[in-house]
Structures are given as C-alpha cells and as structure tokens.
Amino acid sequence: MKTYHQLLLLFTALLTMNVHCEKDETTPPDQLPPYTQTGANTLGCLVNGRVFIPREHDLTGKYFGWYDDDLTLYIDRNGERVYIGIWDKTVTDTGAYDLTYVNAQKNVFYLPAFGGGFRTNPLHTGKLHIQYWDKQKHIMAGTFYFDAIGDDSSIVHITDGRFDMIYN
C-alpha cells in the first residue's frame, strides 16, 4: 500500500509540474517581421534556424539599396552579418534572382561575429525573390534564402529571409 501511495504522489507531482511548464508555441519564423508590401522597412531571416534581425531601432543594422539595376541588402547585428549584393545590372523587375557568388558581380555571404566567413558558390546557392516593386514610392518587398560554405567546409543555412524596404 505504501508503494501505491508513493507512486500516486510521484504521478501527481509530475502532472503538476507539467501543468506549470508553459511551452512557447512561437516558432522562429513567427518571430520574424511579417510578410508585407507597404514599405515597413523590415528585414530578417533565420540563420541555421535562429532568428536574425537588426536590433530594434538600429538604423545602422540594416540596409537596402537599389540603384542603376544593382541591389545591396544587409543585416548587421553586433558584427554578425548577412549580405547580398547583386551588381551585374540584372535587377530590373520583380522575379527570382540567383544568389551564386560571382566575383565583382554578385557577392553573397554570411559573417559570424567571430571567426571566418561563408560564401555561396555553384554548389551552395540560393534565390532572392522580388515579389513587389513600386518604383514611384521606392518600395521593394520579397524573400530570400541561401546556403553558404565556410573555409572549413561547414555550411550555414540562411532561410525564411524577408524584406519590405524603402530603398534609396
């Protein structure tokens, strides 16, 4: 009988602990800025499943520019950076753009705050999708993703990237 009561007490304690442990139901993509097309000046992505966005109200932590059919996008947070540069005069309309590194034409990389960098190549690439472009209001919105390889052959996965920016 004593064992029965001990088991019952243990079961009740475990059940009570489970009730008090509230689980965070928010998944990392839900913590990113929402998909919008209003010029909200939002930018973010996941880096190996971890949310990566500029600090709130950080004017130097994000940049988006389009000029003369070239595009530059970056997120910087305390020295950690996701960077996309397409300088081959091809960014002219909505659509998908390849993010394979080409010296002096496309530069796509991830830099951790400390350590080496990661860059796309013909085997590790991605896409930038421009889904909305209002050339009168200078608003561009879309999504991006890419895989990049480091000098030590490790891979970083940049996923669920999204932007809704007013460009210069």
- pLDDT per residue as tens digits for the range 41-85: 999 999 999 999 987 655 568 888 999 999 999 999 888 999 999
Query: Is 112 contained in some domain?
Result: yes
Query: Is 61 contained in some domain?
Result: yes
Question: For the chain, give me the number of helices (H) and strands (E)?
Answer: 2, 11
Query: Is 53 contained in some domain?
Result: yes
Query: Is 1 contained in some domain?
Result: no
Query: What domain range includes position 79?
Result: 33-166
Query: Is 4 contained in some domain?
Result: no
pLDDT at 19: 39
When computed from its CA atoms, the radius of gyration of the chain, rounded to whole angstroms, is 22
Integer angstrom CA distances of residue 40 from 47, 85, 104, 148, 156: 22, 21, 30, 28, 28
Query: Is 140 contained in some domain?
Result: yes
pLDDT at 34: 94
Cβ burial 11-27 (10 Å sphere, 16+ → b, else e): eeeeeeeeeeeeeeeee
Query: Is 153 contained in some domain?
Result: yes
First-to-final CA distance of the chain = 78
Count of structural domains, the chain = 1
pLDDT at 23: 42
